[in-house]
Amino acid sequence: MDNKQFEKMAFKVKLKRWLITILIVIITVPIMFGIGYKFTQSLAGHQTQLLSNKMETVQEIAAPNIQISDQALDDSSFWGGKVVSHQYKEIDGYHIPWSTIVGQYNWSFNSIPTTSLIDTTPTAAYTRLTQQKIPLFYNNNVAKPNVKKAFELPAVAKMTGYVAEVAITFKKPLTYQQIQARLPHNLRAAWYWIGVSGKADPTFEQNNFLGIQSGLPAGKLSSLDYRYFQKSLKKVSASTLHSYNNFSLSGYAHKYAKQHPTLKQAKFAGVIVTGKSENFKALRNRSWITESSVGATIKRVPYIKPTY
């Protein structure tokens, strides 16, 4: 075999190897890309589920008289995206727009941003998006809270033709049965606040008060409602509920759940009451009420009948 034939044969062998290599690359790269894409999307899907669970937990234990209308993915991409939850208030049959909660996720991380969604003045707090007034609770052990103590029951009772929500802080914690015995039949206990400890100032909490939504008509709670709430308090993490002014919401949630395992044993530091503005007259000058903070209000209209 002369040199020319050898070189020709060698070239054919090299060409064959190149073609095989190129073919392998053509086949392998899309497969590897597909596997990688599927893997990263699996990671993102896991983070999405974790984020959704966090947002649902917040809704269960830290959404004072706040309802959600939906929870959906937004701005989804290969790298991550957002979970958006639109919220509203339900006050005696009237729906009032509230803020929107936006959580973020990627392949390895998820979070509910801690950026403040609240505008605070020395005498009140408002949602940044809708500028609705927030009903505030107070700690009787704090003489000068960040937001001045409010006594607004007389003012709302003078309003005519409205429905309103009012956050009432008790002089001392009350049981569920004691609260039911004190409230008039034409007002509804929409949400029950479990309070804070020590000298923690609730007005620093960015409306992240801890409590339970009444799931039954007339503001009632069932033992099953409370059991589910208590379990949610026990499992909530510090990454879901943050600390405010050195007060750990998650730490307090765990402590409260341990000390109050049943509805019968539970004690509440306040309640959000809803109803017709005129009906709040029955709560004026009650010795068991220390502060009262009006939240959202709306004018009644003929085509929407109040619930109670």
The distance from CA 87 to its chain's CA centroid, rounded to whole angstroms, is 9
- Alpha helical stretches, state H, 69-202: 153-158, 176-182
Give the dihedral of Cα atoms 63, 67, 69, 74; nearest 10 deg. -10
Mean pLDDT, range 7-16, rounded to an integer = 70
pTM: 0.87
> What is the rounded CA–CA span in Å between residue 111 and residue 170?
34
What's the pLDDT score for residue 135? 98
The predicted-structure confidence for 184-217, as pLDDT tens digits, reads as follows: 999 999 999 999 999 999 999 889 999 999 977 7
Residues 207, 59 contacting (CB under 8 angstroms): no
What's the pLDDT score for residue 281? 97
DSSP letters spanning 50-73: HHHHHHHHHHHHS-TT-EEEEEEE
pLDDT band at 114 (very low <50, low <70, confident <90, very high): low
Amino acid at 103: G
Residues 209, 249 contacting (CB under 8 angstroms): no
Q: Would the CA dihedral through 20, 21, 26, 29 be positive or negative?
A: positive
Q: Residue 10 — φ and ψ, nearest 5°?
A: -65, -40
> What is the rounded CA–CA span in Å between residue 110 and residue 219?
35
7, 17, 18, 24, 288 from 13: Cα distances, Å? 10, 6, 9, 16, 95
Residues 151, 289 contacting (CB under 8 angstroms): no
> What is the rounded CA–CA span in Å between residue 41 and residue 39?
5
The predicted-structure confidence for 225-256, as pLDDT tens digits, reads as follows: 999 999 999 999 887 888 888 899 999 999 99
What's the pLDDT score for residue 13? 67
Residues 190, 273 contacting (CB under 8 angstroms): yes
pLDDT band at 80 (very low <50, low <70, confident <90, very high): confident
